[in-house]
Structure 1
Amino acid sequence: MSTAALLGIAAGGIALLLLLIIRWQVHAFVAMMLVSLLVALAAGMPIGDVISTMIAGMGGTLGSVAILVALGAMLGRMIEVSGGASSLANRFTQILGPSRVPAALTAAALVLSIPVFFDVGFIILVPIIYGFCKAAKVDPVKFGLPVAGIMLAVHVVVPPHPGIVGGAAVLKADVGWITLLGLAICLPLAPLSQYLSRWLNRKHYTMLPTTAEQFKNFAGESTAGSALRAPGVGAVLTLILVPLALIMVGTTGATMLPKGDPLRNVLGFIGAPMFALMVAIGLAFWLIARQQRWTRERTNEVMESALPPAATVILVTGAGGVFAKVLTTTGIGTALSQTLTAAHMPLILAGFAIALALRAAQGSATVAILATCGLLAEAVTAGGYTAMQTALLAVAIGFGGLGLSHVNDSGFWIVTRYLGLSVADGLRSWTVLTTVLGLAGFALTWLLWVAVA
């Protein structure tokens, strides 16, 4: 089949995917599976190979994604239920001082958002934001906007969050490198989120009546239900930083030591993200469950409560792997790779632009990242890139999934409703913030790309 025909099928598949999700409100998992099937048939894949190819795509992706997402969700849930988020935010505020409460909350949010999904993490911090805002006699948007911005930035580029983990599996990128690079780039984005939010907040936003009533009646209740025994900030930081340190050790060993070196194999084992998260879960039993005096039944209940929301995320991510496998097997990926090469468009720019367009069109950052990785997987494989370059490509695609959050994004409604913003004010503030952060993150990623090229 000609290159033009294959690219036309890919474009039609993406258009159908967007229609299914946006217009007809079909669940993303079902939509991606259906489009994968139709694209495979339209591209001329032998009918006997279609189902086996889809199964291979699902299995190949979920082999790594399911474990990381499930373990990350359990760890985040234990921190959430125990009241660790409140401890972290309060301690950062004590360190930086009352006059720097917005900066303290933003710093705490950056750390907390590593193991906790964006929507859950933001909802956890809402009572803390409300409490500090009432004390400072300001509207929630003043402190909440920068917090939400940095949390979403971490969500799209730092494992174990599903979009970037699934994208890494599709591109065969090293999760350790992605973790290091994603965090390194998000660090300067935190003050940018703070300063840009302050600039956006020069305008007064009239709070929605329902939010105003909720904010007025807020009395500072603890969401954890066990504020007297909330884990200390040291315990929370240990649970977050220990797995990151292990991953860094593994990545450093793989970079510095030659293949076949026994020490490299040992460091690679302890630095594997799955092992690192398992260590964190083990520490959580000691630092949270034991300290909170949870029974074994209570601990299991908390951990199991994290799995139903994670299951949907895992399935959508697996469906993205199916779509990627179909694109690769049918030759669509090769056709796109050849077209990009002929157009002399930098692959890193193409990845960011495609992800940004898909994000704006259908709302889900995870779907945008996975679909883009599937489209470009063949080009990445054929490019002969180093482990660090492949990780930078994945991070660039992740930042494409950050920008242009608007009314078709569930995160848009979570942020605007809790902060009391109307749709118009949300577009003027939240949409602008996410887009600038996405562009800034991509700019920093490109600078690193140029430096290592």
Structure 2
Amino acid sequence: METAVLLGIAVAGIALLLVLIIKFKVQAFVALLLVSVIVALAAGIPLATIPATADAPERLGIIPAIVAGMGGTLGTVAILVALGAMLGRLIEVSGGAASLAGRFTTLLGPKRVAAALTAAALVLAIPVFFDVGFIILVPIIYGFSKIAGLNPVKFGLPVAAIMLTVHVAVPPHPGIVGGSALLGTDLGWVTILGLVIALPLGLLAHYVAKWLNRRDFIMLPATAKEFALFGPSEPSDSTGYTPAGPAGRSVGVGTLTKTEAPPTAGTILTLILVPLVLIMAGTIASTLLPADGGLRPLFAFIGNPVFALLVALALAFYLLTVRRGWSLSHTGEVLEAALPPAAIVILVTGAGGAFARVLTESGVGTALSDTLAATGLPVLVLAFLISLVLRVSQGSATVAILTTAGLVAETVASSDYSPIQVALITLAIAFGALGLSHVNDSGFWVVTRYLGLTVADGLRTWTVLTTVLGVAGFLIVGILWILVGGLGA
């Protein structure tokens, strides 16, 4: 089939996907599978698998291609997302977020509350999904705002922005993990580079949000009423920090009914940093240690993200449940409660992999690869722009990352890129999916609803802030790309 026809089918397929999600509100999982079938039929993929012959390789049928794409993507994604969700859930229920925020405020001082909350949010966002993490921090944001006599948007805007940044760019979050699986990216390098880039973006989020907050915003009546009724249940400590709930949390889930103190910030930091250190150690060892040495396989094992998250979850089980007297039934209920939301994310990610496999089997990936090469634009720039367009069109950062990764996978696979360069391409896609969050993004409504912003004010603040961070993240990726190319890495 001619290149122009294949590209036309790809464009029409993506347009149909956007229409189904935006116009007809079809669930993303169903929409991706439906579009995969339609694109496969239009591109001439056989209805059933055609066995290999002496003259031609095997051609997968439509359903086998979809199953292969979904299975191949979910092999790693399902485990990582599920483990990450359970770890985040334990931190959430135990009250660890409040401890973390209070500790950062103690270290930075009460006059730097916004910076302290942003720093705490950056750390908390690593194991916790964006919307869940932000909602967890809302009572803390309200508490600080009440003490300071400020609109909660002053503290909440940079907190939400850095949490979304980490959500799109740092494993184990589904978009970056799924995109990495489609591109064959080393998750260790993505983790290292994603965190390195997130640190200056956190600082940028703080100052850009401060500039955006130079004017006062009128709070929505419903939020204003909720904020007015919000009040601390315990006196604040010497830092001016008031917990979001009682200093001793009363837990009534399962069989646990006793009152318990929240875990320390050191405990939460340990749970978050241990898997990151293990993953980074594995990646660095695979680069520096000789291939025939005995230590390299050991570090490869302990640095695998699945093993690293298992270690973190085991530590959380002991530090947050056993040591604090939780019953096994209560712990089981908490962990099980993390899986239904994660299952939806996993299925969408898998469907994105199925769509990517259809694009590959149909020859669209090769056609796009040839076309992109002819434009003369670097794949890094094209990956960012495609992801940004998909993000602004349909709202979901995860769908934008997965779709873009599927489109450029053939280009990446056919080029001689180093593992670090592939990781940078993956991050360029992620930062494209960070920008231009607006009314078709569920995160837009979560942020504006809890901070009391009107739609217009949300577009002036949240949309601008996410776009600035997305562009800044891509520029840092571009600088690293040039440095890596210069060093020949």
For residues 275-298 of structure 1, the C-alpha deviation after alignment (integer angstroms, 9 at most, x for no partner) is: 000000000011100233110111
Deviation at 1:225, TM superposition (A): 4.3
Residues in 2 aligned to 1:350 and 1:366: alpha-carbon distance in whole angstroms: 18
Q: How does 1:293-312 map to 2 (within 5 A)?
A: 293-312=325-344
1:429 corresponding residue in structure 2: 461
Cα deviation, 1:11-30, whole Å, max 9, x if unaligned, reads 00000000000000000000
Q: Distance in 2 between matches of 1:210 and 1:242?
A: 41
Equivalent position SS for 2:45: coil
Q: Report the counterpart of residue 32 of structure 1 in structure 2.
A: 32
**Structure 1 gaps, min length 5:** none
Whole-angstrom distance in 2 between the partners of 1:304 and 1:317: 20
Tell me whether 1:91 sits opposite 2:109 in the alignment: no
**Higher Cα radius of gyration:** 2
Residues 385-396 of structure 1 mapped to structure 2, 5 A cutoff: 385-396=417-428
Which of 64, 86, 100 lines up with 1:52 in the alignment? Answer: 64
Partner of 1:320: 352
Distance, in Å, in 1 between the alignment partners of 2:201 and 2:250 is 33
Name the TM-score, length of structure 2 as normaliser: 0.92
| Kept in 2: contact 1:130–1:220 (CA 8 A) | no
State the AA in 1 paired with 2:385: A
Give the alignment of 1:331-410 within 5 angstroms: 331-410=363-442
Q: Deviations over 1:274-333 (max 9, x none)?
A: 000000000001110023311011111100000000000000000000011111111100
Q: Is the 8 A contact 2:260 2:324 kept in 1?
A: no
- Counterpart in the other structure of 1:267: 299
Comparing 7-16 with 251-260, greater Cα deviation is found at 251-260
CA contact (8 A) 1:91 1:233 kept: yes
List 4+ stretches of structure 1 deviating above 6 A.
Answer: none
Partner of 1:414: 446
Quote how far apart the aligned CAs of 1:209 are: 0.4
SS at match of 2:154: helix
Query: Is 1:21–2:33 an aligned residue pair?
Result: no
**Is 1:133 the equivalent of 2:145?**
yes
1:181 equivalenced with 2:193 (yes/no):
yes
Query: Structure 2: any 5+ residue segments left out of the alignment?
Result: 49-60, 234-243, 252-258
CA-to-aligned-CA distance 1:160-202 (integer Å, 9 cap, x gap): 0000000000001011100000000000001100000000001
SS of corresponding position for 2:217:
coil
1:440 maps to 2:479: no
Structure 1 position 118, deviation (Å): 0.2
Partner of 1:115: 127
Deviation at 1:429, TM superposition (A): 0.3
Identity of aligned residues (%): 64
Q: Normalising by structure 1, what TM-score?
A: 0.99
Q: Give yes or no for contact 1:127–1:220 (8 Å, CA) kept in 2.
A: no
1:242 aligns to 2:274 (yes or no): yes
CA distance in 2, matches of 1:56, 1:256: 35
Does structure 2 retain, via aligned residues, the 8 Å contact 1:74–1:307? yes
- Higher helix content, 1 or 2: 1
CA contact (8 A) 1:231 1:291 kept: no
**Counterpart-to-counterpart distance in 2, 1:225 and 1:436:** 41
CA distance in 1, matches of 2:471, 2:325: 45
Cα pair 1:351 1:396 within 8 Å, conserved: yes
Check the 8 A contact 1:196/1:433 in 2, yes or no.
yes
Distance 2:293 2:68 in 1: 32
1:228: how far off? 4.7
Contact 2:153 2:451 (C-alpha < 8 Å) held by counterparts: yes
- The whole-number CA distance in structure 2 between the counterparts of 1:435 and 1:13 is 26
Provide the alpha-carbon RMSD of the alignment: 1.0
Q: How far, CA to CA, are the matches of 1:421 and 1:358 in structure 2? A: 25
Q: Kindly tell me the number of residue pairs found equivalent between the two proteins.
A: 453
State the SS of the aligned residue for 1:336: helix
Distance in 2 between residues matched to 1:119 and 1:195, nearest whole Å? 22
